[in-house]
Structures are given as C-alpha cells and as structure tokens.
Structure 1
Amino acid sequence: METRIVVYPVLTIVVPCYNEEEVLPETVFQLTTMLQTLISDKLIATTSTVLFVDDGSKDATWTLIESFHDSSPLITGLKLARNAGHQSALLAGLMKAKTYSDCVVSIDADLQDDTSVIREFIVKFHEGYDIVYGIRQDRSTDTFFKRVTAQGFYRLMNSLGVKIHYNHADFRLMSKRTLENLEKFQEVNLFLRGMVPLLGFPSTQVYYDRKERFAGESKYPLRKMLAFAFDGITSFSVTPIRFVTIMGFLLFALSVVAGLYAIVGKILGANVTGWTSLVLSVWFIGGVQLLALGLIGEYIGKIYKEVKHRPLFVIEKDLTATGRDHELVHTPSNQVSSSR
C-alpha cells in the first residue's frame, strides 16, 4: 500500500508599510492569527510567514517590526534604505517572498482589506488558480468625491484599453510561477494592478467589504491619488498622445475654415471686428499647445526613467530566513542583481 505524502503550500503575506506604528500591532495580531488558523486547518505549511516591508518610515515602524520578529517566528521584515514608493515596496516584498514561497498574498497595513478573505484566497489557490483578485463589493465607506473619481478612473482605464479589474487595488494572491514571470517585466514606472492581468494565468475573483482604516492617517491624499491615476494611464496607454494628435488636426481644420472666412470677408469689404474673440482664440490654441507639450513631456520623462535602469529599491536590512547581511538591490533590466 502506497504512503501518500501531503505537501502544504508555503504562504507569505507581504505588507508594505510607511509610518504605520499606530496600526502595526493590530495588523500583526490579525495576520498572525489568520496564519495560525490556516496552519491548524492544514491549508498552508507551518513555515508560512508575514513579511513586512518598511518603505523608509520616519516613525517607529521598523523598530516594531524587529520587535515582533524577535518574539514570533511568523514575522519577518525588509527595511528599504529610502522611501521608494508603495508599488516599489510591494514589488520588493513580492520578489523576496517568491524565492521561498508557493503563493504570496499582498495586503496593505491599514486593515481596510478584510484579512478573513485570505482564507478564501488559499481555497481558490488549492482549486488551481494562480491569481486571486480581492474585489470590493461597494464603496460605501468612501467619501462621495473619492467614490466618483475612483469609478471614473476605472471606466477611463477600460475605455483606453487597459485591462484592470474594477474596484481592485493590490489585495491579491499570486502563485510562485506568476511572480517568476512578473519579474521578467522591466518597467520602472510600476502600476502593478495593470501589470498582473497581463500575465494571463488562471485567475478568479473574491468579493469582500472594505472597512474603515483601523488607525493612523491615509498615506494617499488627493494629490498622490491623482498622480497615481495619471501614472497608471500614461504607463499603459498611448491614447492620450493620439488624442492630442486628433485635436491638432481638428484645430488645423478650424483654422483653415476661419482663414477662408476672413479672406472672403476681406474680398467682400466686410469689416473685421471682434478683438475679444480673437484674443480668446489665441489663448485657447496656446493652452492646447502647452497641454500637448506637457503630455508629450510626461511620456518622454517616463522613457528617460526607463533607459537609466536605476534600481527600483535598495534593501538595507533583511530579517527573512534567506536574508543576507550585505546590501540588496533590484534592477528592472535583464541583469542579475545581488538580490536574486
């Protein structure tokens, strides 16, 4: 009679953090409790952990991570040498976790995403799905302005041909092989919620209700949200450039019509009046030109960042079992970095 050996998947929960000292103790409690439950239910391996990525915090976030790491084998951490941004910090955790994990769940530290949904993620992973997206059922906890602008953003992205999941942020599960293929992407301008669907592996969705922030302040004020949205649009679509081109043709056609009108009026001896409309026309065309130049400059700036191949992040300290004492970097090129 054959003896069947059951191998449970190693799960790592990656949590990017920036100045999260107020909420971190509760985050650690909820995520470690979830891990212990999944381990006891024989859904994941006993070596599963939570990986906190400190994105250059200025408060006691890293000190707390070190303290929790010393008191619990379930807690590990990475400390970035500087603030690299949410997407780069998340990628740092994902790339580190993929080296020793079978699947990775990414979640923000603010506990707005429902941690109990992680169990459903794991169930879907056992069913054969490589990517499981956490989708918000509604936006009742958002302000009216944030709800309208967020919905408008998703509609705009879809109309531009960018495949992203409606009401999905960065709460998802990814298998090891999807992360290995994600590493092949060389973008410096990261927009992970647009990059992950491009992988094309079997995927599904899990719906949940988003909660209020447990403690602390939001790290995404209006300015950052608008910048993030604009970055996502320009990183995945050239439609804005094409729109400028079409608008240029339309303005050229209008100028030809206006020129013919002026010539005919001159021939017929009509007096040219309306200096106000003339000035407004000049200002309008001038504004359109500046807008077009700014948009083109934005794309050129992205190209400038891409061709420099600078590291997306530098890891100062590594508390994982595979961590090393020397400095680690990740580059977006095909060159092998010291973190791999």
Structure 2
Amino acid sequence: MACTKTRSASSSSSSAALLSRLSRSLAEHYTRQAHPAAAADCYEQANQELRWLAEAAREREPAWESVLEGMVGDMVERDKPLAYVLGTQPFHPLMHPLVVRPPTLIPRPETEHWVSLLASRIISGRPTKAREEFRFLDIGTGTGCIALALTAHLRATGRTVRATAVDRAPTALALAAENTARQSLADAVVVREADLFTPSFADALTRETGTDVGRFDLVVSNPPYITKAEYATLDHSVRAWEDHGALVGEQVGSASQGDVKDDGLVFYRRIASLLAKLLAHDAPGKAPVVAFEVGQGQARAVERMLRDWRGEGTRRLDAEVVKDPWGIERAVFARWDQ
C-alpha cells in the first residue's frame, strides 16, 4: 500500500512539473510575439489554453503526457493555431463544437457575434407563416459555421429552414458536410460545390429563374476580404496554416472577370451583381436579405455598394453597418427599402 501511494504521489508530482514546464514554454512563445506590456496576459492565456489541451490529450490517449507535449510542440515550434491542435472550435448555438482542420479557416468569435445578431433581426423582422420555408444561401461556407449556426438559431423558434452552403474548395466542402452531420442538420443544410465566379453560378442555384420558387430569402457570406498588402502583415500562424484563397479578396483562375483592384472587395462586387437573380423579391417584413462580414475599414464601401444596388423594377436595399464586441465595424446587413 505504501509503495502504491509513493508511485501515485510521484506520478502526480511528475505531471505537475510537466504542466508547469509546458505552460512556461507556451507563455514564452506568446511573449516573444506580443508587446512587452502584454506579457502578463500571455501567461494567463497560456495557462488557460494548457488546461484545454490537457483535457483533450486525456481524452485521446491513456499516456496523455506525451500527447500533450506534442500538442504544445506543434504550437511553439510550428506556430500551429490552438483550434487546429484541438481539432474543434465552439460556435454558438451549436450543440457540438465544429470540427476544424487546416487549411479551412477557423471560425472567429466576431463571426459568431454577428450571426447571432442576424438571427435575432430575422426572428423579429420576418413574421412566421404556417408551412413557410425560410431559404438562405451561404457563399464560401468553409466549416459551415454560418449556415449551421443560423439554421440552429431559426429552427429553435419553430421555423422551417432550408440552407444551401456553397464553397469551391474540396477540403472546405468535406469539412462542412462532416459538421452538418455532426450537428444533425443534414435535413436542413445542403452542402454543394460552386464557384462564385463561374458565369452559371446564380442560374445553377436558382433553377426556376422565372419565379421566386428557386430563389433565396437571404444571401449571407463571409468572403475573402483581406488585401494582398494586408496579407503580408498577418501573423505567421495564419499565413502558414489557413487557406490563402479563403483570406485574400482577389479573383483568380480562368473565370477571372478582370476585377484586379487590390481593395479586398472583389467578392462583394460579384455577389452584388448577382443579387437580382439570387434574391426572392417577395420577402415579407423588415428582416435582412443580405448579410456580409467585412474587413476592418471596408464596411462603409460595402454599405454604399448595397445602397446603390438596383433590383427588379424599383427594388432597392437599405443597408446598415454592424459593430463587433470590440467596436470594429464587422458586418453589413441590408433589407428591402420599404
């Protein structure tokens, strides 16, 4: 019995020493990247993240210490983002964390914030009718976070939802499909391959273009919006691990339409040019019909773009800028001008 206690105490002491060493290594890694004034925050961040890593390591292997060392090593030596190391990222109000894998972009908290706000605007601004189906399109779905979270928000109020989530990247499509199944939302969210810049994009998604049957009540997108100049200044962990094509707002490939401005707005211009085909023009109420995430400093340009848009007949959009919890203009919502 005494020997058992000794081994247990020794093991506990060894684990504590390991955790202390790894926490210090992680904190020093963050400190090297941060402003000196933020050093104390780096140690607090390292301690919190190490707790998450240790919990994940214990779930993966009985010999969790070696797994944990490998996790921290990936972060310190390879600059691998925490979410990729853990393999998951929570996203409100989903029941289960999203599965995340490089190079598909990691969902950010600012996206989570405006999606929740968008859901509340739809719920308050659009009356629910019996057997009415709310249809929306998510362009550049990535992990599927926006399509899945918005669907979960709206279904919680008893609405019938039909979401179409599109992307051009095979890795993103596979991940979005996996997350859709993981959240048990495959009956409401359809994941499909589509390239925004192909001439047939809108017609392929709205097959019955003569009526509103095939159109959408909402078009939502968090498209690539970083300029090439800004990309060079991003953290190494972002540039090394996350998809360049999902970050930089430039048009590439054989479908190029000649939009070569390095302002990060090419995707917004392309989507705006297709809204007349994509949007159902009989949407009731005052709910948003377009919602975009935007980069810092881009909100007013995108707001003007949507205000200047002209649809069928006299249809126009009224746009508003939405700030994130840190006071940054992060999204633009537009509704039909009443």
Q: What TM-score, normalized by structure 1, do the two folds share? A: 0.30
Q: Larger RCO: Structure 1 or Structure 2 (Cα < 8 Å, ≥ 6 residues apart)? A: 1
Higher alpha-carbon Rg? 1
Q: What TM-score, normalized by structure 2, do the two folds share? A: 0.31
